Amino acid sequence: MSFLTHLECPRCAKQYPANEVHNLCTCGSTLFARYDLKRAAAQLSPQDLKSRRPDLWRYREVLPVANDSSIVTLGEGLTPLFHARRLGDKLGLPNLYLKDESQNPTGSFKARGMAVAVSRAHELGIRRLSVPSAGNAGGAMAAYAAKAGMEAAIFMPEGTPLANRLECALHGAKVTLVAGSIKDCGRVMRKTLAGQDWFDVSTLREPYRLEGKKTMAYEVYEQLDGRLPDAMIYPTGGGTGLIGMWKAFAEMQELGWIGQRRPRMFSVQAQGCAPMVRAYAAGAETAEEWQNPETLASGLRVPAAIGDFLILRAIRESRGAALAVSDRDMLAGVREIAETEGLITSPEGAATLVAMKKLLAEGFLGGHESVVLFLTATGYKYMEALEQIVE
């Protein structure tokens, strides 16, 4: 069962009933799902998990869906955490791990968030979902909406890879292509659907995608036998996964699983779209919109994030950093991971390898640490981009 109690704004602390449909707080912030963690701790322990279902719903007590009958699942979660021995030996980092999110349904970590968001929407009686997407989020939403028998409307940039567009269409979603970035898609979507009964599941504009993404932290803890790594390196567009994992650590401490220690959180963006990197360097609490974003990593082509203050807070509180990498280096990273570890990841995933090399070179990491790189999606949806690196 779920121990969800209410929704709460992490900016102004205003609370909302959990049994009502909500998007943002009145102050404009995203909302966090809150749980009775003292009661949850009595039923949810690391030992209990060993006999549970092999997907993210193993953490039912700290997920927001009340009834098992409301769960819409395609088998998402519990993706492998590979000890990258060959790549680690090459880099002088013996405790390097790759969290392979490509093994989720629809090939990316977006399945986690959409599984929980669609399930909770279905439970609350919502039947029509809309989202702006640069690719993988749209495909995941379309798949789970199809599974639930719900309508889906997806607004995508004109330059979205063909595989992502076809994926949405094949699942029966209505796809609208928009000139510009994902921010432009969101603007067109809200204008087009205004006054209609479409529920917006944009990144951090509803409370529950975050809850699916946070399960990556619970899984890493399990897969490292009850330990947290020293560092996590995460490709950041909207930042839902980074924010969700930071929230999960606080939950895990209240559950009695961990103490106050946290991994250092490193946020990676593309040089052609790096609003968090610029804000971090300037010491700002929020990030200004990045004008004319350009990168082949469509998941990183996010010029403004509604959760910017939460991303920056997590980075600073963990003594981490934000850094940008080039498209050229991302593509080289795709090839290096494939040649050493047998995984064809997306440019976004490969960005974490490039970032790690920079962190080692600049002394942010010493080489003795345990480090987890998040390979957020399969590279098989990026054939047009990856063709550039094959001789």
* Inside any domain, residue 360: yes
* Inside any domain, residue 182: no
What are the tens digits of pLDDT across the range 312-346?
999 999 999 999 999 999 999 999 999 999 999 99
Q: How confident is the model at residue 385 (pLDDT cuts 50, 70, 90)?
A: confident
Residue 255 is predicted with a pLDDT of 98
* Inside any domain, residue 365: yes
Residue 229, domain extent = 81-108+209-389
Q: How confident is the model at residue 390 (pLDDT cuts 50, 70, 90)?
A: confident
The more confidently predicted of residues 98 and 159 is 98
* Inside any domain, residue 285: yes
Q: How confident is the model at residue 204 (pLDDT cuts 50, 70, 90)?
A: very high
Region 187-209: mean pLDDT is: 97
Residue 271 is predicted with a pLDDT of 98
CATH number of the domain within which 268 lies = 3.40.50.1100
Residue 42 is predicted with a pLDDT of 95
Residue 361 is predicted with a pLDDT of 97
Q: Sort strands 151-157 and 174-178 into parallel, antiparallel or unpaired.
A: parallel
What are the tens digits of pLDDT across the range 268-282?
999 999 999 999 999
Q: How many angstroms separate the first and last alpha carbons of the chain?
A: 53
Residue 240 is predicted with a pLDDT of 97
Q: Is the confidence at residue 66, as pLDDT, over 70?
A: yes
The pTM for the full model equals 0.97
* Inside any domain, residue 141: no
Task: Give, in order, the Cα–Cα distances in Å from 175 to each of 105, 178, 182, 185.
Answer: 20, 10, 14, 11
Measured between alpha carbons, how far is 253 from 375 in angstroms, rounded to an integer? 26
In degrees rounded to 5, what are phi and psi of residue 117?
-65, -45
What is the number of structural domains in the chain? 1
Q: Is the confidence at residue 14, as pLDDT, over 70?
A: yes
Region 180-203: mean pLDDT is: 96
Region 358-381: mean pLDDT is: 97
* Inside any domain, residue 344: yes
Q: Is the confidence at residue 12, as pLDDT, over 90?
A: yes
* Inside any domain, residue 336: yes
Measured between alpha carbons, how far is 340 from 3 in angstroms, rounded to an integer? 43
Measured between alpha carbons, how far is 227 from 91 in angstroms, rounded to an integer? 23
Q: How confident is the model at residue 161 (pLDDT cuts 50, 70, 90)?
A: confident
* Inside any domain, residue 59: no
Residue 381 is predicted with a pLDDT of 93
Region 77-84: mean pLDDT is: 98
Q: How confident is the model at residue 391 (pLDDT cuts 50, 70, 90)?
A: low
- Tell the residue number behind the tokens 């979902």, with chain if given: 129
